[in-house]
Amino acid sequence: MPSNLQLTLKSQRFRDERKEDWRTLERLLSQVEAGRTRQLSDADMLRLPRLYRATLSALSVARATSLDQSVIAYLESLTTRAYYAIYGSQIGLGKRIVKFFTRDWPEAMQTLSRDTIASAVFLILGTCVGYVLVMNNPDWYYSFVPQGLAGERTPAASTQSLRSVLYDNNGADGLGIFAAFLFSHNSRVAILCFALGFAFCIPTIVLLLMTGLMLGGFMGLYASRDLGFELGGWLSIHGTTEIFAIILAGAAGLFIGRAIAFPGERSRIESASYAGQIGGLAMAGVIIMLFFAGLLEGYGRQLINVDWLRYAIGLGMLSIWLAYFYIPRDFSRFDIDMNTSKISQK
C-alpha cells in the first residue's frame, strides 16, 4: 500500500498540475455570481464550460484515487458553483422571449436553409401539376380541393360568383367561415409536415405535394375564368405568410427525416435529438407565423379590395420574413449553445 508520504506527494502533484485551471474557473464564477457576466470576453464565455468539464473530471479522479479529502471537498464546491452558474436559471421569461426572437428562431431557420429549399420545391411542384391538370380538365378540381374548402367555389360556379368571393364584403360572414376553415386546415398540414418527418421524410413530402395540388387546383379554376391575377392578390395578402409557414414546417420535418436516415458521425438517437431541438424551435416560430396569417386573413383580406395593395402587403410580408430569417448576423454575441450553457447575453 502507498505510504502517507506518497499519497501526500501524489495529491500535491495532482493539485499543481490543475490549480491554474481551478483558479481561472473560480475567477470566472466570481464574475458571474456578482452579476458581471457582460464583462466576460468571448474567450472567457467559451472557456467556462470547458473548465467546468475539466474540473468535474478532476473530481472524479480524486474520488477514485482517494486523494486528500480537502481537495475533494474543494472540487465538489467548485463544480457545484459552476453547475448552477452554467446550467442554472440565469435568464428570466422576458429575456428568454427576446432571445428566441433575436437568436434562436432565425438561427434555426438558417440551419434549415437547404431543407427549406427542398420543401418549397415539392410544394411548387405539386402546385404546378394541380394547375396544369385543372386547366386542361376542370374535373380534376374535385380530386384536389376538399369540399369544405371549396364550398361554392367549384367549376360549376359562374364566373361572376367566383369573382364576387374576391371582392364583395356582403359575404363577410361566409368568408369568415372559409378563413377559419382554411387556417385550421393549413395549421394541421404544418403540424403534420413536422410531426411525420421522422418516417424518413416520405409523409412530409406527400403532404407538401398534396397541399401544392390543392393550391394549384384552386389557382387553375380561377385562371380558367381569367381571374388568376385577382386570385393572386386575394391569396397573397395572407398566403405569403401562411404558405411560407407550411414550407418551413415541411423543412423541419425533412430535417428530422434526414437526421434519422443519415445520422453521420452521431448516433441515430443523438442525431434525431439534435434535429428535434432545431425543428422544435422552427415549429414554435411557425405557430407565430400562422397566427399573423390568421389576422391578415380574417381582417386585411376582407377589408382591402384593391389588387395592387393586396399584392403589396403580401410581398411586403414575405420580404420581412426573408430579411428576418436570412440576413447574416453575428449569433455569437448571444448565449453559448443552449445545451452547454445558460449564460445570459453579453
- Number of residues in the chain: 346
Count how many domains the chain has.
2
Specify whether 152 is located in the same domain as 300. Answer: yes
Asked if 167 and 32 sit in the same domain, the reply is: no
CA-based nearest residue to 293, from 247, 228, 325: 247
Select from 150, 273, 167 the least CA-distant residue to 217.
Answer: 150
Tens of pLDDT along 307-343? 999 999 999 999 999 999 999 876 554 444 443 444 4
| Structural domain includes residue 60 | yes
Asked whether residue 56 falls in the same domain as residue 162, the answer is: no
Same domain for 167 and 31? no
Same domain membership, residue 111 and residue 70:
no
Q: Cβ neighbours of residue 304 under 8 Å, at least 6 residues apart?
A: 237, 310, 313
Looking at the structure, do residues 77 and 109 belong to the same domain, yes or no? no
- Given a contact cutoff of 8 angstroms between Cβ atoms, the answer to whether 221 and 155 are in contact is yes
Listing DSSP states for 1-58 in one string gives ---HHHHHHHHHHHHHHHHHHHHHHHHHHHHHHTT-GGGS-HHHHHHHHHHHHHHHHH
Which of 174, 122, 129 lies closest to 149 in space, CA to CA?
174
Regarding whether 230 and 307 lie in a shared domain, the answer is: yes
Q: Which three cell numbers stand for residue 187?
A: 395549421
Among residues 49, 68, 88, which one ends one of the domains? 88
Report which residue type is found at 7.
L
- Coil, strand or helix at 140: helix
Q: How far apart are CA 277 and CA 344, in angstroms?
A: 20
283 contacts: CB under 8 Å, gap ≥ 6: 190, 191, 194, 249, 252
- Residue ending a domain, among 55, 88, 121, is 88
According to the 3-state scheme, what is the secondary structure of 47-97? HHHHHHHHHHHHHHHHHHCCCCHHHHHHHHHHHHHHHHHHHCCCCCHHHHH
Task: Please give the Cα distance from 288 to 283 (Å, whole number).
Answer: 9
User: 125 and 77 in one domain?
Assistant: no
Report which of 340, 338, 233, 249 is spatially closest to residue 296, judged by C-alpha positions: 233
Q: Is residue 343 part of a domain?
A: no
Task: Using alpha carbons, select from 143, 114, 146, 149 the residue that is nearest to residue 129.
Answer: 143
Is the distance from CB of 170 to CB of 235 less than 8 angstroms? no
Q: Tell me: do 76 and 102 sit in the same domain.
A: no
Q: How far is CA 72 from CA 30, 150, 224, 273, in A?
A: 20, 72, 80, 34
The reply to whether 344 falls in a domain is no
Q: What parts of the chain have a pLDDT lower than 50?
A: 1, 170-172, 174, 333-346
Q: Which of 39, 54, 88 is the last residue of a domain?
A: 88
Residues 231 and 294 placed together within one structural domain of the fold: yes
Residue 110 located in a structural domain: yes
Domain range for 121: 98-333
Is residue 70 domain-shared with residue 147, that is, in the same domain? no
- Quote the pLDDT of residue 312: 94
With beta carbons less than 8 A apart as the criterion, state whether 270 and 229 touch.
no
